[in-house]
Amino acid sequence: MSCILPWINFGTNIYGRPRVCGYSDIEAQWKHMFEKRGLPWPPTKIEDTPKEILESDFAKEFQTWNGKLEKHGVKEQWNNIYFREIRESFLNGEWPANCGRCKHVEELGGKSKRIDENDMWHDENLIVETEYPKHIDVRTGTVCNFKCIHCSPNVSSKWVEDKEVAIKYGTEYVENDNTWIAKDNDFWNQLDISQIKRYNFLGGESFWNKRHNEFIKRLNESPYAKDVEIAYVSNGSLKFKNMENFKKVRIRLSVDCAEKAGEYFRYGLKWDDWCDNIKEFPSNFDVSFQWTCSNVSMFYLIDTYDLLRNKFPDIRFLFENHVTEPYHMSVQNLPIDIKNEIRENVEEYFDEEAKEVLPFYINHMFEKDGWSEKGETFINYLNDLDKARKTNWRKSLCGLEKALSGLTLS
């Protein structure tokens, strides 16, 4: 049991701190490493920490990791103790604390990111330290033009307009000015583009980031472009430019629901414009829809899948993500009668290929009764969003509203 990514992929979170990939639980990993050494987590303030601990190699490596990429570049961070200990755990046949999400998916019968990446990159020599990452996985900050109802102001700058609603429902809002990724720092310039074969970008919305756009233009014009793959998770609302010279361009378009329900869920989306934009993608783009499982999107899954498969028959529909926070948007937060109906309809509708992936989402849905705890919270949350945005979920999500009408919240 192993995962290829700690040996080939260097990722960042929105605050500029390194991680293995977008599914990493970096807090769980550092907590494990601190406690293994008998140190308190969260770390004590510097002024309260004994000198012998501050001067230890472990503390210095933590401070380097915590110093963000604007201070310590990719090459310096690549063999940081964070990466080394994750590699060591896999070499010992153990799940790192960092990788609980994939572990959970596999335990419920799903196909995890670990399995997908291992299928794609299976011929690497797995040692504790390597020279330089082959892949870069960059979270390009929080700048975004949408405010999806399962998102938050910590991830979307547009959501800051409604931050009071998010805070009311449990979000610990942390102001982020995106300076590490947006300003003229060394991050983009110090990347060794002769070594990197794949770039993954995730926002916010990456194409709203000026420094990202400048880098892509420079990379596209470089002699290395013909050997480089670039990949995006995008809301699909903007034009993709300066990409004609790359070996491959992969676009995963985030989708939850279609038409009116889609416009409500992904606030800022104009459904007809979005569909027109997809039709204009160049032929060398490898485009797919990436569906995120939530209580709302699961209810509308068959409608969404059916519409998109008929409208865009050549574009794959991927089931690869699920909402964990905020919990009131989790697929677990549905009444049992609706869950049973969803399971019956999904098992009857989907083909065998989809049925290899969907059991995780069905099993996860029934893993916990969220409705007795968060059903009322979910309804109140939508009502408060409507007040803030001048929307009406009962009209936009009329199918869900009808299914919920008459049900008790316990």
Nearest to 103 by CA among 33, 29, 155: 29
Give the mean model confidence (pLDDT) for residues 68-97: 91
Positive or negative: CA dihedral 231, 236, 242, 244: positive
* Domain 140-404 CATH class label: alpha beta
Contact 64, 77 (CB under 8 A): yes
Q: Check residue 124 and give its pLDDT.
A: 55
Residue with tokens 């991680």: 19
Residue 9 to residue 134: CA distance in whole angstroms? 6
**pLDDT tens per residue across span 187-207:** 788 889 999 999 999 988 998
Contacts from 242-246 at CB under 8 Å and sequence distance 24+?
242/213, 242/216, 242/217, 243/216, 243/282, 243/285, 244/220, 244/282, 244/284, 245/220, 245/221, 246/220
Residue ranges of domains in the chain: 5-133, 140-404
Instruction: For residue 324, count other CB atoms closer than 10 A to its CB.
Output: 15
- For the cut 60, the answer to whether the pLDDT of residue 354 exceeds it is yes
**pLDDT tens per residue across span 235-287:** 999 888 889 999 999 999 999 999 999 999 999 999 999 999 999 888 779 99
Contact 12, 87 (CB under 8 A): no
Both structure tokens of 286:
């490898």
Contact 259, 289 (CB under 8 A): no
Give the mean model confidence (pLDDT) for residues 101-110: 92
Contact 326, 171 (CB under 8 A): yes
Q: Check residue 407 and give its pLDDT.
A: 67
- For the cut 80, the answer to whether the pLDDT of residue 350 exceeds it is yes
Q: Binning pLDDT at 50, 70 and 90, where does residue 410 land?
A: very low
* Chain-centre distance for alpha carbon 213: 20
Distances (CA, A) of 134 to 101, 137, 191, 333: 23, 10, 11, 40
Both structure tokens of 383:
């009502």
**pLDDT tens per residue across span 37-59:** 999 998 887 777 777 888 899 99
Give the mean model confidence (pLDDT) for residues 318-324: 91
Beta strands in 281-403 (DSSP E): 285-293, 316-322
Identify which has the larger pLDDT, 332 or 47.
Answer: 332
